[in-house]
């Protein structure tokens, strides 16, 4: 499962999906890699989580417990 620290992560995921469509997860991964390259661990982790959220939103099946 994914961890989201705040609502802004969901907003950023939605923005990337709207702007990049099917390549949104790739864009999030690219941003994570750029953050890692400059030594920004916090942003690296944040963009990786957003990438995972985008992948989760793109699936057609339920993940985890379904109530």
Contacts of 25 (CB under 8 A, 6+ apart): 51, 54, 55, 58
CA distances, 42 to each of 1, 36, 63, 66 (Å): 19, 9, 26, 31
Q: Is residue 14 part of a domain?
A: no
Domain count, the chain: 1
Q: Is residue 8 part of a domain?
A: no
Phi, psi of 60 (to 5 degrees): -105, 5
Q: What is the pLDDT along the chain (67 residues), one digit of tens a residue?
A: 778 889 999 999 999 999 999 999 999 999 999 999 999 999 999 999 999 999 999 988 887 777 7
Q: Is residue 10 part of a domain?
A: no
Could you give the angle at the alpha carbon of 52 between the alpha carbons of 46 and 56, nearest 5°?
140
Q: Is residue 30 part of a domain?
A: yes
Q: pTM for the full model? A: 0.88
Q: Is residue 34 part of a domain?
A: yes
Which residue range forms the structural domain that includes residue 51? 19-57
């Amino acid at each position: 499962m994914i961890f989201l620290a705040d609502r802004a992560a969901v907003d950023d995921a939605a923005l990337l999906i709207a702007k990049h469509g099917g390549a949104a997860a790739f864009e999030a991964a690219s941003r994570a890699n750029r953050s890692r390259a400059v030594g920004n661990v916090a942003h690296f982790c944040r963009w990786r989580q957003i990438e995972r959220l985008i992948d989760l939103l793109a699936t057609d099946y339920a993940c985890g417990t379904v109530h």
